[in-house]
Structure 1
Amino acid sequence: MPISYATSLSELKDQKSQVEKQKNSLSNQIKKKSTAISSIEAKQEALLEQISKLGSEITKTNDQIAVVTGEIKQTNSEIEKLQQEIIALQEKIDQRDQLLKERARAIQVNGSVSYIDVLLGANSFVDFIDRFSAVNTLMEADRQIMRDQKSDKEKLEEQKLLLENKKKELETKQAKLQSLKESLNAQKAEKNKLVDELEAEQEKLAKEKKLLEKEYSEALEVSKDLQDKIIAEQKRILELSRQNDGEGTLPVVSSGDWTKPTNGTLTSGYGWRNLGYGPEFHYGIDLANSTGTPIVAAAGGVVVYTGPLSSYGNVVILTHNMDGDIYTTVYAHLDSYSVSVGQTVGKGVQIARMGTTGRSTGPHLHFEVHIGTWQGQVPGNVNPLRYIPL
């Protein structure tokens, strides 16, 4: 399906190109700069693809860390249980040892009592039977004490061996967890490096476009009819893309601190862009889908604002405390929201639905990340691709 979309749009763009060529209003220098701009845009697309792949790898590593952390917790619980069982067994063994020592001391003080003497000292046959039963009971009690003592000592050794194996297993899992965390940090560093490169390319693109507009004030004026067709075709492709993304489906919640806030197509990245009325800096990313698509909290936090906010339309703002570090996320152009100020929400919990309120050309989520508390559009603003997976 996407191939047919591109073909249709490509045909319209070819018509636009013919109109532009016919006008012959720009020099070879403009053509060279246009080629340079296309090259930068292509590089940006390649970087975005790499960033997306790294985001998937980070999600997988976070999943593995969650599994290993759970295993370590379970192993620690088993070790604690074994240690308690070993203490209980040792106490029983020590108590029997004490009993046996006391009996040995009593025999040493009072002298050995012969079971035969006890039996022969019977005054009658009935007394003999009673004495015989008592002797049997005493002998069986002695044998049982010795059997229990032997059994518990063997079990104690088994438990100690099992405890040692569990500790070794725990060490192995802790080493694996450390390795996964190191891998995660390396992946995040590589992703941030690519984001830095992407932002540098965006800055470079903005400068190229500004220079082009400064040096050549004449712009191509495509016929209104053809321009309308191109716009309509782009909207058609976008709408079909939104339908394919699955209206009303909650996004998959990723492991780790952050998750993608909604299902949708990335239509505008962070940084410089040109919407037809000159370059502007885009302080977030746009994810497009159909009106009503669920939007979730990108991380666990507290709702600090809901309602209209200038050209952002309906907005929800969340503040997050992650191990003492404060972050703020902004969700804009909402059709509706289902949270209130002061409410605590978990990562992946639905907070709103996608819309096109405020300055918007179609249904999408404008998503921002700020380091620290929100103090306006610019302060603390960072590229969301550093944190959320695409």
Structure 2
Amino acid sequence: MNRPMRKFPVLLSTIVAASTITLSTTSISAESTTDLNEKIDALQQQQKQLEEKQGKLQRDTDKTDKKINKNLDKQGSVEKEIHSIDTDLQKTLEQITTKETEISNTNQQIEELGKQIQKLKKEITILKERIAKREGLLKDRLRNIQQNGGSMKYIEVILGSKSFGDFISRSSAVNTIMDQDKSIMEQHEADKITVEKNKVDVENKKSEVEERKQSLQAQKQDLVALKGQLDKQLSKKETLMASLEEEHKELEAYKVSVEEEQEILAQQAEAAEKAKQLAQSQKSELEQLAKEKAAQQAKQEKTKPKSNNHSSSANSSSSSSSSGGSAPAPAPAPEQNMGGDMMYPISAPITSHYGTRWGSMHHGTDFGAPIGTPVRSAASGVVIMTNSASQAGMSGYGNVILVSHNINGQSYTTLYAHLNSIGVSQGQTVSAGQVIGASGNTGQSTGPHLHFEVHRGGWNGSKSNSIDPMTVLN
């Protein structure tokens, strides 16, 4: 683990040199301790903000879970309604089929009745012909009777008998004729009644069947109308179901995005804690070093030999020349530019700047570089996360690294995307300029390049806190 920090001498070979360096490093130690205290305070503030964000995301997750459960309840209810409508539709279709069968049977009955009516019409025609013939015969008989004196001719026939046997024969013949006339009359009347009755029966039956057909057709129309209503209801429910399923997908996707953001926040919190522990460790080392220097100085004061004025003057002159006669020793170089600047993450030309591009916001700066070009951390910090292109949530970035930094009390997060390879792991401490990976063309990339983002504070999916990297690169 690289731990960039200022180095200080521990042992001094001479009393004069030790005194001179001790004064200088004590001042630097005090200044560095102040810087580290500010850094620790800033990291604690960052942790507090991350906890607040975690709390908000947890509330969002809880709300989303409630919405998902409510959505699933609605889906269950709608699914039951769809099942009920499907059942009703199935029954209605069966009833329509039954009615169509009944209507078909009724049509066959009507067809059969039509045939019967045609047959009856023929029979009626025949009966009418018979009746007409009988009426002709009866008219002729009545005309003959009228012309011959009516029934008296029958008496003459009987009285004209030559013998008793002839009388019996003549009487039987007369009775037969009279019976035949009576039978003809009775048959004539019966045929008339039969014809009228058959005609009425067939017409009534035809009317009844036609009424039944009309009733069946009306019932079928009602069933078809019901089917239409059920189809509309089913269409509405299926549309609602599709909408609920789409809403469920969106809620699940949002929940996943929130969970991923929670994971990133947790990693940021872990990185902030590690950075704070590192700063506290550095502070402890500086404090311990200051104590050692103070003890060493006190020891030197005690062990100073008492000398004459000349040696004292010489020592004083030497001390004066070392402490005030010459310029103070320069402080060691800081870890990075104290104005908040970062170093360029790669040695390559810029191919696309931060800002609106192709109708959407481009949240970073692109550096065109061949695959495998070293990518360096823009500042010292802690690796928040490394993500491969196969993992959800960051697939557009391909292989990506997020690093947390704290510069002059301000937290930043840098993002390095489309990498060909990753050379660090989550939680690792990195120094400014340390190689952390190699540029590539993974994820949604149009060609080999490094996509570099800077976020003021922690990284979030909305990228609302992204800033133009060129404002912090030096």
Q: TM class, shorter-chain normalised? A: 0.3 to 0.5
TM-score scaled by structure 2?
A: 0.37
Bigger relative CO (Cα 8 Å, ≥ 6 apart)? 2
Question: Max radius of gyration: which structure?
Answer: 2
TM-score scaled by structure 1?
A: 0.44
The structure that is helix-richer by fraction is: 2
